[in-house]
Amino acid sequence: MAKLRVNCFGLSLDGYGAGPEQSLENPLGVGGLALHEWVFPTRTFRAMHRGTSQLIDQGEAAIGIDDDFAARGMANIGAWILGRNMFGPIRGAWPDEKWKGWWGDNPPYQTDVFVLTHHARDPITMEGGTTFYFVTDGIEAGLKRAMGAAKGKDVRLGGGVATIQEYLRARLVDELHLAISPVLLGSGEALLRDINLKSLGFECLEHVPSSKATHVVLARR
């Protein structure tokens, strides 16, 4: 049966999934990039973002534990769901049609992506097989559309924090992979604030340390 999965979600030691003050200059909030230092060097990340990310250096691509989890996060994904904040820094009504995401003309998704928003917008077809659809009638409608588009494959829930919390509270997330980085943000968006994973039926299936993160995989019974 197809699942709704959260994969490769960066978390600080003090529980934050993003830093404060998201902006065009700080897409993940102030300090938020530090949560993802484990994935930037991996072979999987570089293959996904080749030519589109300034975060890729010229060194040798990393393999090993971190790359294994990054690759697992992309396996059997037929569609994505993103919250409005994950798509961009614009708030409220769309001022125009210019903003098409953080990722340039060829986003890394290469599937249909369903963006949750309160403000309607026409779909955007990008290079590489990515089409952004804008869903205005709630998280369950977004999941239904994404599952239909995935055609039997899993749907990946990309975030951000508030969107993941909504799906967790609605008991719609089947699997949750957290990559806990050894950094402290001090403030920002706390992923598990007022979330009781045990009462929601989650149990820990894996906890695997690497040199840059500890990977924790939880699944709902």
pLDDT tens series, the chain, 221 aa = 999 999 999 999 999 999 998 888 888 899 999 999 999 999 999 988 765 555 555 567 788 999 999 999 999 999 999 999 899 988 899 999 899 998 899 999 999 999 999 999 999 999 999 999 999 999 999 999 999 999 999 999 999 999 999 999 999 999 999 999 999 999 999 999 999 999 999 999 999 999 999 999 999 98
**Spatial distance between the Cα atoms of 33 and 28, rounded to a whole number of angstroms:** 6
0.75 exceeded by pTM: yes
The residue among 14, 53, 56, 49 whose CA lies nearest residue 35 is 14
**Spatial distance between the Cα atoms of 4 and 81, rounded to a whole number of angstroms:** 9
Identify the structural domains of the chain with CATH numbers, from first to last: 4-18+29-91+103-220 (3.40.430.10)
Q: Pairing relation of β-strands 77-83 and 112-116?
A: parallel
**Spatial distance between the Cα atoms of 37 and 32, rounded to a whole number of angstroms:** 10
Cβ atoms 10, 17 nearer than 8 A: yes
For residue 14, give the 3-state DSSP assignment.
Answer: coil
